Amino acid sequence: MTAVEWIAGEIKGGKLITNQKFEELLQKAKEMEKQQMWEYIKTNYVNGENSLSFHKKEFEKYYNETFKNTKE
């Protein structure tokens, strides 16, 4: 299940949720997306010249710039 599918299921059916609850769901979905992206990177990009630790460092940098510094 993707992060998008998960969050859609959480708010499906017109359930009323508070802004705080929505922010909690959004943060959890972002963390799920991060894990899914990292699993993809580990599977598909580790066979190059650079080590897994290099890829992890670059991924963390990309993730933080893309997702942590945005307000939805």
| Residue 56 neighbours by CB under 8 Å, 6+ apart | 38
Nearest C-alpha neighbor of 44 from the set 23, 29, 59:
59
pTM for the whole structure:
0.62
Question: Residue 59: its pLDDT value, please?
Answer: 81
Any idea what the Cα angle at residue 19 is, between residues 13 and 23, rounded to 5°? 90
How far is residue 57's CA from residue 13's CA, in Å, rounded to a whole number? 39
Look-up of token digits 């993707």: 2
Packed helices 3-11 and 19-45: angle between N→C axes, nearest 10 degrees: 160
pLDDT (0 to 100) of residue 20: 92
Instruction: Tell me the domain boundaries of the chain.
Output: 3-7+19-68
Give mean pLDDT in consecutive 10-residue pieces for the chain, a chain of 72 residues.
86 83 90 86 66 77 74 48
pLDDT for the residue 2: 84
| pLDDT value of residue 70 | 52
